[in-house]
Amino acid sequence: MKSERGLWGSKLGFILAASGSAIGLGNVWRFPYITGENGGAAFVLIYLVFVLLLGLPYMMAEFALGRATQLNPVGAIEKVKPGNKWKYVGLLGIITSIGILSFYGVIAGWTFGYIFKSLFDTGTPASNDFSAFISNPQYEIGLYAIFIIVTAVIVYKGVESGIEKWSKILMPLLLVLFIILIVYANLLPNSSQGIEFYLYPDFSKVGFKTIIAALGQAFFSLSLGLGLMITFGSYIPKSTNIFTSALYIVLFDAIVALFAGLIIFPALFALGENPASGPSLVFIVLPKLFSQMPAGNFVGAAFFILLSIAALTSTISLLEVPVSYLVDEKNVSRKKIVWYVAFFVFIVGLPSALSQGTVKFFTNFGWLPSSLTSADFLSQMSFFFGDFLLTFGALLLCIFIGWIWGAKNAGAEIMISGDNFSKFKGTWIFLIKYLLPVIVLVILVSIFKVTGIS
């Protein structure tokens, strides 16, 4: 069974894989438009503070539970607290991973399709182009299927030969594409206005909404609350320093989000577009921008390749959570169960794929109130799984690690191969036991007013 589970082959491989799971559409799609809606640089600064003060300690807690038990979220909780109903918190994380992957894969398919749309479409894109694109069932289902299949192929290969190997390829490629696009965007005329908006804070624009938005973005962009980092932590050797590894991952995640802004805001200001364009920024506003740039087709295609890679590194980790659970708890072969889980996720996601104008029932699903989210099935899934259940699960996991397993036990696990953690241990225990549960509860309450995809 140990060989079936696997371990990370190197610290670098683990850091890149975990960074890949954190880096996704939340960094490249959501972060720029949330920044634009919340005043730019002041939001960015608050976000970075929250990433280090809250995201880092929570990530370390999940890693500690995973490595201490060498099991998936359900098995990990059951091992430290046998015969207790807390194991259902782990099961909630697995269900949430499947729910998020089902609609996230649909959006990931859009990013892949827009690579070719950028290359071969002529003329100036308009909002109805995007509406027509996502309401075409052949495009929607076909692109969604491709993304799920590619994800499954990588997870099928296992921890070291699949997830780690491809993370070592995809993450450096992601950074190279970022650097190329940053240089290009900042050479455009008037791009300096975008840099000023993005990097020079104006705290007069900061209100309660800005703080809550930064708090939510910092937490959700790191893929916390699913038990995903418990799963990845279960593959960490005892010789790996959890503290420094988590610090690298958090910094890498934040840097990628910052890089996305260094592309998007200079380009927006260079061509006179509104930085607060909302969720349509990537699929409507940016293609319009690219069409006006020199060699814009190729720039657009490069951007959507970048976005597709970011999405893929997240879908890989989302699929790994239920697969790891079944390998551990049901004693099944990874190579068999990957395809069953991927097919199940695909079926669950079909209503989301058909909810953008193709099937009226799913387009006007309306299960959740319109005051919370849009009526289409994908938006309803995004709110319920990507916002509510993710946060609720994070709150329960935080309480379990801090109080049921015990912050001192978690801290002792982090101390293994982590002597440099000793000076922060007392502060970390306070954060996990007292401050973080309160903060996550605040996010949970506020989330009924602030919605979006992480």
Q: Tell me: the pLDDT tens digits for 23-55?
A: 888 787 778 878 888 878 889 999 999 999 999
Nearest-Å Rg of the Cα atoms of the chain is 21
Q: Tell me the per-residue pLDDT of 227-263, one tens digit each, with 9 for 90 and over.
A: 999 999 999 999 999 999 999 999 998 998 899 889 8
Cβ density class 44-54: b for 16+ within 10 Å, e for less: bebbbebbeeb
Q: Which of 127, 145, 94 is nearest to 319 (CA)?
A: 94
CATH number of the domain enclosing 400: 1.20.1740
Domain encompassing residue 104: 2-446
Q: What is the DSSP letter of 361?
A: H
Helices vs. strands in the chain: H and E counts, helices first: 24, 0
Q: What is the mean pLDDT of the chain?
A: 88
Q: Which of 18, 450, 445, 452 is nearest to 230 (CA)?
A: 18
Q: 75-79, 91-95, 304-308: lowest mean pLDDT where?
A: 304-308
Is residue 451 very low, low, confident or very high in pLDDT (cuts 50, 70, 90)?
very low
Q: Which of 110, 162, 184, 98 is nearest to 386 (CA)?
A: 98
What pLDDT is stored for residue 454 in this prediction? Answer: 39
- Give CA–CA dist 93/88, Å, rounded: 9
In a domain, 454, yes or no: no
In a domain, 451, yes or no: no
Q: Is the pLDDT of residue 123 over 80?
A: no
Q: Is the pLDDT of residue 122 over 80?
A: no
* Local structure of 24: helix, strand or coil: coil
- Give CA–CA dist 428/193, Å, rounded: 40
What is the pLDDT averaged over residues 382-402?
A: 93
Q: Tell me the per-residue pLDDT of 406-427, one tens digit each, with 9 for 90 and over.
A: 999 999 999 998 889 999 999 9
Q: Do 293 and 188 contact (CB within 8 A), yes or no?
A: yes
Q: Which has the higher per-residue pLDDT, 78 or 34?
A: 78
Q: Is the pLDDT of residue 56 over 80?
A: yes
What is the pLDDT averaged over residues 330-359?
A: 95
What pLDDT is stored for residue 280 in this prediction? Answer: 66
* Local structure of 206: helix, strand or coil: coil
Count of beta carbons in the 10 Å neighbourhood of residue 39:
20
What pLDDT is stored for residue 453 in this prediction? Answer: 40
Is residue 452 very low, low, confident or very high in pLDDT (cuts 50, 70, 90)?
very low
What is the pLDDT averaged over residues 107-132?
A: 84
Q: Is the pLDDT of residue 450 over 60?
A: no
Q: Is the pLDDT of residue 1 over 60?
A: no
What is the pLDDT averaged over residues 156-185?
A: 89
Q: Count of domains in the chain? A: 1
Is residue 282 very low, low, confident or very high in pLDDT (cuts 50, 70, 90)?
confident
What pLDDT is stored for residue 5 in this prediction? Answer: 66
- Phi, psi at residue 194, to the nearest 5°? -70, -40
284, two tokens: 């409507």
What pLDDT is stored for residue 2 in this prediction? Answer: 42
- Give CA–CA dist 112/135, Å, rounded: 16
What pLDDT is stored for residue 343 in this prediction? Answer: 98
In a domain, 453, yes or no: no
Location of structure tokens 């699960």: 393
In a domain, 427, yes or no: yes
Q: Do 28 and 306 contact (CB within 8 A), yes or no?
A: yes
In a domain, 121, yes or no: yes
